[in-house]
Amino acid sequence: MDRILIRGGTPLSGRIAISGAKNAALALMPCALLTDEPLTLRNLPRLADVDSFGHLLNQLGASTQIEGARPADFGRVMTIRAGRLTATEAPYDIVRKMRASILVLGPLLARAGEATVSLPGGCAIGNRPIDLHLKAIEALGGEIELAAGYVKATAPGGRLRGGCYTFPVVSVGATENALMAAVLAEGTSVLENAAREPEIVDLCNLLVAMGASISGIGTERIEIEGRDRLHGATYRVMPDRIEAGSYACAAAITGGSLDLVGAAAGDMRATLNALSDAGVAIEERQDAIRVEASNGMGPLTLSTAPFPGFATDMQAQFMAMLCKADGASVLTETIFENRYMHVPELARMGAHIEVRGRAAFVRGNTDLIGAPVMATDLRASMSLIIAGLAARGETQVNRVYHLDRGYERLEEKLKAVGADIERVGDG
């Protein structure tokens, strides 16, 4: 199994190209199931999760074609053709690898009138039930049966109908599934307390490009007028705000300066504001965001929240960064109940972090020391990389397959801006 070795202490300097957003790509790809015409996605990141989702679409009868991409390129152009669906079941052996697989439920049901999807897997960051997905589908007339680890959904009469659903809590995935189900439903649907994340906006914009009628995009109330059919489209995946924020933390912890090329400041305002509050210099340029931290960092008090609040997907990276801040910081995780699994691993590197319930207290001015550490989930993995970039000696990060799910060619990008980092195999 591969591992990543980092010899820390070098300030990062240079330009890093920000890839297409993983979380957006995994919501855009199932839109191909909504039409018998080709869907072409540009700027699709080269990630294990994207490959897994492509395999899932193949299982359902869709073809996936990579166009004109060289192995050395970042990003890909993929054309997905689902002219005829040959199956409506998403099997366990694929779905177990990736939680986002549940996003085929809405479009399959909308187009074929039935869908059977295994209960999903993914990162071990706490209980993430899909009950809101199912309740939203039921509000659109879908009938749900749970049996033997599968969700079986049917649309009586072969078609969903417009309906209204108010999410009791904000859910990005459930909003995405409901949107894709509603665009082919008969009549008008209204989603209240819908997620407002940029990835939701990206999904809505693609659906509109395919012929859907959606109003309220980017707000908590989304109205969808169902269509009889959608057509194909060509669409560019938005830049990854979490990747950009992660590299910003890497620049900050090393006292370096990075230009995050292609990053969209409007999509990551809470992250940039938090960095600025810590004393990191942020400059928004025409083609990039410059992050510069030569004057050190101050402590922060942060709480995760749905967009436009501070993203839960940035909590672990900030925790690592704040180990080098000048003072004590407090991070509160409000989204997931088990997202501090990186704390014991950071402690192996000398971090002083105390967890009390949902709050983590981080002592700054820590002399981090390289050590063998174990990645537990995607963002926790990145927090260990960030800590390793600032640690004395060598850090060995194991279970790097988590990183391959969400960061395109991470070691290549970091090496190009001065990091002493390499991937090694057991052989």
Tokens of 127: 């209980």
Note the CATH architecture for domain 22-236. Alpha-beta prism (3.65)
Where do the structural domains in the chain lie, given as residue ranges? 3-18+239-424, 22-236
Going by C-alpha positions, the residue among 122, 126, 120 that lies closest to residue 104 is 120
Q: What share of the chain is helix, strand, coil (3-state, %, to 5)?
A: 35, 25, 40
Task: Read off the pLDDT of residues 393-423 as tens digits, 9 standing for 90 and up.
Answer: 999 999 998 899 999 999 999 999 999 999 9
- What is the spatial distance between Cα 333 and Cα 215, in angstroms, rounded to a whole number? 32
The 3 state secondary structure assigned to 91-151 is CHHHHCCCHHHHHHHHHHHHHHCEEEEECCCCCCCCCCCCHHHHHHHHHCCCEEEEECCEE
- What is the spatial distance between Cα 38 and Cα 30, in angstroms, rounded to a whole number? 12
- Mapped onto helix, strand or coil, the DSSP state of residue 412 is helix
Active-site residues, by number, are 123
- What is the spatial distance between Cα 251 and Cα 15, in angstroms, rounded to a whole number? 11
Given this model, what pLDDT does residue 410 score? 96
Given this model, what pLDDT does residue 73 score? 60
Going by C-alpha positions, the residue among 367, 358, 326, 324 that lies closest to residue 339 is 358
- What is the spatial distance between Cα 290 and Cα 329, in angstroms, rounded to a whole number? 24
Measured over the CA atoms of residue 58, residue 108, residue 228 and residue 209, the dihedral's sign is negative
Given this model, what pLDDT does residue 72 score? 54
- What is the spatial distance between Cα 60 and Cα 91, in angstroms, rounded to a whole number? 10
Instruction: Give me the average pLDDT of each 10-residue run along the chain (427 residues).
Output: 94 97 97 98 93 95 83 79 96 83 96 92 50 96 92 96 97 97 98 98 98 98 98 98 98 98 98 98 97 95 97 97 98 87 96 96 97 92 98 96 92 97 86
Task: Read off the pLDDT of residues 70-124 as tens digits, 9 standing for 90 and up.
Answer: 555 668 999 999 999 999 999 888 887 788 899 999 999 999 999 999 887 544 4
Residue numbers belonging to the annotated binding site for UDP-N-acetyl-alpha-D-glucosamine: 99, 128-132, 313, 335
Residue numbers belonging to the annotated binding site for phosphoenolpyruvate: 22-23
Rg (CA), the chain: 21
The CATH homologous superfamily of the domain defined by 3-18+239-424? Enolpyruvate transferase domain (3.65.10.10)
Q: Do domains 3-18+239-424 and 22-236 have the same CATH topology?
A: yes
Residue numbers belonging to the annotated binding site: 22-23, 99, 128-132, 313, 335
Q: What is the pTM of this model?
A: 0.95
